[in-house]
A = this chain, B = another copy of it.
Amino acid sequence: MLISKASRFGVWSCAVTHSARLFSRSSNMAKSKFEYVRNFETDDTCLRNCYIVVRLDGRNFHKFAEQHKFAKPNDDRALGLMTRSACSVMEELEDIIIAYGQSDEFSFVFKRTSNWFKRRASKLMTHVASQFSSSYVFYWKEFFEDQPLLYPPGFDGRVILYPSNRNLRDYLSWRQADCHINNLYNTVFWTLVQGRGLTTTEAEDRLKGTLAAHKNEILFSEFGINYNNESSVHRKGTTLIWEKVYETVTKRMKLPNEEEKDVPVTRSRRRVEAYHCDIIGEQFWEEHPDILEDDNC
């Protein structure tokens, strides 16, 4: 079977003329002779005591969404798959304390004291990009039952360091503000196109230069839509954090001098939980005081 696949690329084997023994000896020598090339690797250790953010962005996702018939302005299957893949990243990699996603992007925050992969930036970001991408394909059919995946998608990533809690929170606020602005625009835009029959160019012209208040007004006065009643997944994006959950199970136990009987046992474990709420204000952070570490450490 391999052969039929391999023939997809033309395969040639080169003639081997030298004897096995001669070659073996020389190639052994060769390896040590070539090993100097390792010294060209550079150290890209992330500065200590800083939060490490890895952000992924979909590559050519506008076209990808078209080809896979994503619903407008938001496709819940696509958002669910992004969240599922992000969850896989959090469960597989160590030390991610919070992740935030919207549209075709997801940001992962490693704790400031993390020493995972010795804080090597290249390892951290390629691992996140790799695990996210393989998960996206792996879980595709759980979210897109009737829509086959046409080709393997790509994501690019970057690493950014934040020295203080304020900086990190401002980064997450920046991404959520971006989510809000884009989603409000897209909601009005597609309501005009789908509900009123405007062409995309007409809708664009209609929205040119409008402020947020105007867009809310259009939705409310023309379509009776209160933007704040729209789905929080779309308005706020998705925040993933670790939470302790407690389960009570019954275990058959035998204590000394007693008969065997069923005993209720409470166990705790960490689980990734998804939130679709405001993370710009104080409330979320006050309710989850364990996410951020103390600044002056």
Contact = CB atoms under 8 A, between A and B. Distances in A.
B296 A164 contact: yes
A147 B151 CA distance: 21
Interface in A30-64: 30-31, 33-43, 45, 47-50, 56, 59
Contacts of A1: 77, 143, 145
Contacts of A136: 134
Q: How large is the interface on A (under 10, 10 to 19, 20 to 34, 35 or more residues)?
A: 35 or more
A45 to B, nearest CB: 7
* Integer count of this chain's copies in the complex: 4
B47 A10 contact: no
B216 A24 contact: yes
Nearest to A150: B138
Interface string A209-247: 001110110000000001110001000100010010100
A77 B212 CA distance: 55
Contacts of A83: 6, 9
Interface in A165-190: 165-167, 170-171, 173-174, 177-178, 180-181, 184
A34 B171 contact: yes
A165 to B, nearest CB: 6
Contacts of A142: 5
Best-surrounded residue of A9, A49, A212, A277 (most CB of chain B within 10 A): A9
Nearest to A159: B122
A266 interface: no
